[in-house]
Amino acid sequence: MTAETTPAIALTDSRGSALGRYLAFLYGVASYAIFFVTFLYAVGFVSGLGVPKTIDDGPASAAAGALLVNLLLMSGFAIQHSVMARKSFKQWWTRFVPKSVERSTYVLCASLCLALLFWQWRPMPSVVWQIESPELAAAVTGLSLIGWLIVLTSTFLINHFELFGLHQVANNLAGRPVPAPRFRTPLFYKFVRHPIYLGFIIAFWAAPTMTVGHVLFAAVTTAYIIVGILLEERDLLDLFGDDYRRYRERVSMLIPWRKSA
């Protein structure tokens, strides 16, 4: 049974009914809204600013138990994020979920995994380092926020609304095909191939007070980023061929202005 004939979900592609396209659009908008709230919460969770529960908040628990729970939470997000992004999974998944909402569904699942992580995260409050100078601490916090800004800005430099599924459901609603992807390297992408990931690394490691739990979060996510880059670049080579191969030869992966290896 193909996605176009699946009766369980009234979210059809451009060949479906007007009602189905409208419902798909609302689903995409709702998924994006959930993502954006989750993203803003992530900023506060990691930076320790303005949210009810941060990376260092919560009831105390045994170190071994906290480590196990936190690793399971991060592994759950990593598995969801990596598996659902693979071409082979998408080909299987779109037999059940219409292509128009495939990206929105991916974004929604990722957001829910992150929300679960924030909710169930166990603090590990032993201090690894702490900056005593208020001015220097504020500067490091500012650097972390710059990292988050790099992440958000980089998504808009490529196509923010396509990356998070809104472009697809809007085109579906209008009955237009989604344009084929084009290879572009705007602004930050001229200096590093993965400015979004670079922004995350800056945001996660720039902390005036670094606890064991924060180090665990930053180290595991950084390792996952490296693995994710290797998988993503394989897909980009398949998609863009020699254009991406030449780009990879002249632009560094994560360190700005460094000649690519």
Q: What pLDDT digit, counting tens, does each position of 140-189 carry?
A: 999 999 999 999 999 999 999 999 999 999 999 999 887 888 888 999 99
CA distances for 115 relative to 20, 35, 84, angstroms: 28, 10, 18
Q: What is the pLDDT of residue 134?
A: 95
Sequence-ordered list of residues with C-beta below 8 angstroms from that of 242, at least 6 positions apart, any chain: none
Q: Are 130 and 209 in contact (CB under 8 A)?
A: yes
Instruction: Specify the 3-state DSSP secondary structure of 128.
Output: strand
Q: In this predicted model, what pLDDT tens digit does every residue of 90-148 receive, in sequence order?
A: 889 999 999 999 999 999 999 999 999 999 999 999 999 999 999 999 999 999 999 99
What is the chain's Cα-based Rg? Answer: 20
CA dist., res. 21 & res. 232, Å (int): 30
Provide the pLDDT for residue 261: 56
Q: From CA 209, how far away is CA 118, in angstroms rounded?
A: 19
Measured distance between the N- and C-terminal CA atoms of the chain, rounded to whole angstroms? 46
* Percentage of the chain modeled with pLDDT above 90: 75
- Quote the CA–CA distance of 121 and 57 in Å, as a whole number: 9
Q: How many residues does the chain have?
A: 261
pTM above 0.75, yes or no: yes
**Residue type at 198?**
L
Kindly tell me if the per-residue pLDDT of 11 is higher than 60. no
